[in-house]
Each structure stands twice: as C-alpha cells, then as structure tokens.
Amino acid sequence: MPVDTKPALVQATDDTADREFVKGLGLTSSTMLVMGSMIGSGIFLVSAEIARDVESPALLIAAWLVTGFMTITAALSYGELAAMMPRVGGQYVYLREALGPLWGFLYGWTLFLVIQTGTIAAVGVAFGKFLGVFFPSISSHTWIASLHWVAPRWHIGPMVLGGMDVGLNSQNLMAILLVIALSIINIFGVKTGAAIQNIFTSAKVAALLGLILVGLFKGREAVALAANFGANFWQNVHGMHALQVGSNGPIAMVGALTIVAVAQTGSLFSADAWNNVTFTAGEVINPKRNLPLSLAIGTGTVIALYVACNFVYLNILPLAGSADGATILHRGIQHATEDRVATAALSQMFGSIGAGLMAVAILISTFGCNNGLILSGARVYYAMAKDGLFFRKAGKLHPTYKTPAASLMVQMVWICILCLSGTYSQLLDYVVFAVLVFYILTIVGIFVLRRTRPDAPRPYKAFGYPVLPLIYIAMAIFIDIVLLRYKPQFTWPGLIIVLLGIPVYFAWHARRPGTDAQTA
C-alpha cells in the first residue's frame, strides 16, 4: 500500500510550498508559541463563572483538571499527526488527509470566520479594556463612531440569538490598532514574530509564577482557607445542581458530571489554541522531533500553572460570595467585580496597587497571546489558498521575508470588522461545540490513518494509543451532548456556522483548476 494516497501533483505542491518558508522556529520558540497562544485573559477571569456554576471548591478544581487532562491527551495525540505530516496548515492538513478535503475546508472556514479571528478580536478588546485602567478615556462607553443600533433578539425555543452593539469606541480602537501593528510586524519574518512571542510569553509566565508564589506563601487568608478547605472543600460534590436550560428555559437539576461539563466551557477556551503551533509546521526546525515535544511541554506547563492559580484563588478568596458584597472577601470568587478574580486576589493582598499590577500582567498576556494567534492563523489560510479553497493571493509569500503577507492582511481586515461589530464574544460562545467536534474528528483521523496508511513514517506515535485517544473522544462527545441538551444557544449556532461552509466549499471547489484530480 502506498505511503500517501493523495495525488502526486497536490503532494508536490505541499512539499514545494513548505520549502519556501524559512525554518526559524526551534524547540524553544515552538514551545513558547504553544504556551503564548494558550495564555490570554481567560485564566484571570473565567474561574468566577465556573465557581457560580459548580458551587464547590472541589468541582472548581475538577473543571480545570478535566480540561488539563483533555488538553494534554489531545496534544500528545496530535503529536503523531504533526510528526507524520509536518506541513504548513497543521490541523487543516490532518483533517484533509484523513477524512477528505471537505472536512479540512470546514475546519479552515470556521477557523477564519470565528474561532481564530474571533478569539483575536476578543483578546484585543480585553487588551483595550485593561489599558483603560491607566487611561480612563479608553472605554467601551467612549464612542468615536456608533450606529447606535442593537440587533433584534430572536427567540427559538430556549435559544436567544442576536443583540449586538455596532460601532467604534476607544476600547475596540485599541484592539484594532493592536491587531494592525502585530499583523504588520509578522510580515517581517517568522524570526521577528518568534522573538516577540518569546519575550512576552516569558514575561507572562513569570507573572503567573509570581502570582502563584506570592499567593501561596504570602496571601493566604484565614477566612478563605476556612471557607474553602477541610470538609467544605467537598461541598455539593454529591448533591444536585440547578442548571438553566438555554438562555430563558426551565431549571433542570443535574449531577456533578453534567455541571462540570457545562462549567468547563470557560476553562476549555482558556486552555485552547495549543494546536496553533501545528499551523507553522513548515517553519519549525526538525519538526518531526520538535513539534511533538513542544506540544507536550507547552500544554503540560500551562495546565500546571492554571491549576496552581486556582488553588491560589481559593487560598485568598472564599468561593461563595454575594453580588452586592461590600468587600472583596464578601464578593468572593463567584462575584468578583466584572469576574476579575485575579485582580480581586491581588487587590486583597496589595490593596489598590494590586489592580494596577494585574492590569499590567494582562496587557502583557493579551499582547503576547494575540501575536501568537496572528502569526499562526495566517498559515492555515495560506494552505487553503494553495489548495484553491481560499483567496488565491493568500497563497503567495512575501518575496523578501517569506511570510504569508496577503493572508495576514486578509485575516487582519476580518478581525477588525469583528472588533467593530461587537459580536466576537457571542460568536466565541457559539463555536464551543464546533471546536470540540473538530478536535474529535482530528483524533479520529489518527485511527483512520493507522488503517489507510499503515506504512507512513511515524517518528512519534500517540502516547497511550488507542486507550487515551479513545478516552478523549468519549469525554469530548459527552461534553458536546451535554451542551447540546442544556446550552443549545452555544451549539446550534455553531453547527449553523459550520454547515454554511458546505455550499461555500463547493463554490470554491468549482472554481479551482484540476478539480477532478484534486478530489480523486
């Protein structure tokens, strides 16, 4: 059986395209890209919502541990595909090769429309939000140009769709300027982008380590320790939890497994984007070794930091609190002001200076995160363009710097539109379900390729195969089923976005030359 069943013409195109890139990412830079893409603003915010859902210190930690297990398991599984096919485009290529070009396109389509670009927009606005701590004129309420229009809300059973502000304010202007600056910087060679990534990832890892060390050894609060640990640590683990179905549906009583599956939506997004390093595979030095290693080291390190941060929160703030609490301790983790749990923890330790310290940490974190996402995302659209499934010019490299400059610019324009539309946060919610579906399909691809291409070189094989990949698939399917049942406002819109890509695929497919040969 041949090693690769893909037509020789298309395979040669892949290889030629990858050779055009500059090999500028070593193991350190690849690992920093994994870590820097993962660490954004989520770890500083989402624990408040998780705590409100689970109402238990043990289940708060469980949500992060489950997310950690799934993330690391998926990364160790992706290592096999990355070493087997170290090509620009990463996950897009894996889905194309294992399941067919339609599935690869649907992933790339959803990545461009919402997942990658929406994340960059949201992280960029978070940058503007925390910049406003130092410059109060930077605010979502300081409008520069506004349509003063709010989209109508559509009620479909328990779902509520719509409701979005449109316009330019000083906060999303900062996001747009950040996106434009980083997109242009990343034209000037992958080594330039990698250097920025290394500096800012090192800084934000240092900030997280500082928060952890100070929180564990200096910031321990007797009130929080008494409320969160000992017998209280396990409260509500065996009981039933109230969960609203949809946005305005009935209240359902569910068990611990179901409530953790719903609650960890935030933690899954906080730990996401670890796969972005695979998009840059054509620029990684010795990718068959460095890609699997960077995935393992990067995800393992970040998950350890995330879990430790949540123990710090529990050491400083009581889990339960009141939305109208008079003090930081009275508000607790559940009702930290604007869900800024890390800011509340530092403010409890250092007073008003704590808010400034955390704002600086988040500015560093969001800047570095968006650099990694912008750098890597453009490589997927480049690979799609090479297959005739995206704008043709996006498949060209800059003649001097050998970077996908046109792809970076197309991505930049769409991100800026998302920043202006005000829809990025809603869109991110809508694709939680779809993101997990694509992870499931990619890991299924490992089993498919083991059967269809048994003789293909595999410098690294998925750790724990087939048990760990199957466990991941089962866990991800369970979460998707739970979200489909209890959070339809997060699932059906995501499915619609994916399905809309099918007619778009056939439209691109009909336009490209050599269609019959490419889909043989």
Partners of 145 in beta bridges = 168
Q: CB-based contacts of 350: which residues, under 8 Å, 6+ apart?
A: 357
CA atoms within 13 A on the CB side of 144: 11
Is the whole-model pTM more than 0.85?
A: yes
What's the mean pLDDT in 103-120? Answer: 94
Which of 24-28, 73-77, 159-163, 276-280 bottoms out in mean pLDDT, i.e. has the lowest? 159-163
Specify whether the CB–CB gap between 21 and 283 falls below 8 A: yes
Residue type present at position 519: T
Res. 21: pLDDT tops 70: yes
Question: Which carries the bigger pLDDT value, residue 70 or residue 7?
Answer: 70
Highest-scoring range by mean pLDDT, 147-161, 351-365, 411-425, 447-461: 447-461
pLDDT at 219 over 60: yes
Residues 6+ apart with CB under 8 A from 171: 125, 128, 129, 132, 138, 139, 140, 142
Q: Is the pLDDT of residue 200 over 50?
A: yes
Quickly state the pLDDT bin for 516 (edges 50, 70, 90): very low
Q: How far is CA 507 from CA 270, 390, 496, 511, 520, in A?
A: 35, 11, 18, 7, 18
Q: Provide the H-helix boundaries in 85-186.
A: 91-99, 101-110, 116-131, 170-185
pLDDT value, residue 425 = 56
Q: What is the average per-residue pLDDT within 189-206? A: 93
User: In the prediction, which pLDDT does 10 show?
Assistant: 42
Tens digit of pLDDT for each residue in 256-291? 999 999 998 889 989 999 999 999 999 999 999 999
- Containing 242, the helix (H) or strand (E) segment is strand 241-244
pLDDT at 250 over 60: yes
Model pLDDT, residue 154: 47
Bridge partners (DSSP) listed for residue 160: 155
Q: Can the peptide bond before residue 466 be classed as cis, meaning omega within 30 degrees of 0?
A: yes
All domains of the chain, ordered by start, with CATH?
8-518 (1.20.1740.10)
CA distance 103 to 439: 12
One-letter amino acid at 487 equals K
pLDDT band at 423 (very low <50, low <70, confident <90, very high): low
Residue 151 has pLDDT above 60, yes or no: no
Q: Report in angstroms the alpha-carbon separations of 252 from 159, 246, 258, 486.
A: 16, 11, 11, 9
Residue 337's pLDDT is 87
In the beta sheet, which residues pair with residue 252? Answer: 243
CA–CA gap between residue 16 and residue 343 (Å, rounded): 49
The string of pLDDT tens digits covering residues 298-309 is 999 999 999 999
Instruction: Determine which of 10-14, 411-415, 463-467 has the lowest per-residue pLDDT on average.
Output: 10-14
DSSP 284: B
Q: Where are the alpha helices (DSSP H) in 256-351?
A: 256-263, 265-270, 276-279, 287-316, 328-331, 341-350
- Could you tell me which residues come within 8 angstroms of residue 91 by beta carbon, excluding any fewer than 6 positions away? 78, 107, 275, 278, 279, 380, 438, 442
Give the pLDDT band (50/70/90) at residue 145: confident
- Reported as a single tens digit per residue, the pLDDT across 462-505 is 999 999 999 999 999 999 999 989 988 778 888 888 999 999 99
Element (H, E) at 98: helix 91-99
User: Does residue 9 register a pLDDT over 50?
Assistant: no
Q: What is the pLDDT of residue 65?
A: 97
User: What pLDDT, on a 0 to 100 scale, did the predictor assign at position 18?
Assistant: 63
Q: What is the pLDDT of residue 50?
A: 94
What is the DSSP track for 426-451?
Answer: HHHHHTHHHHHHHHHHHHHHHHHHHH
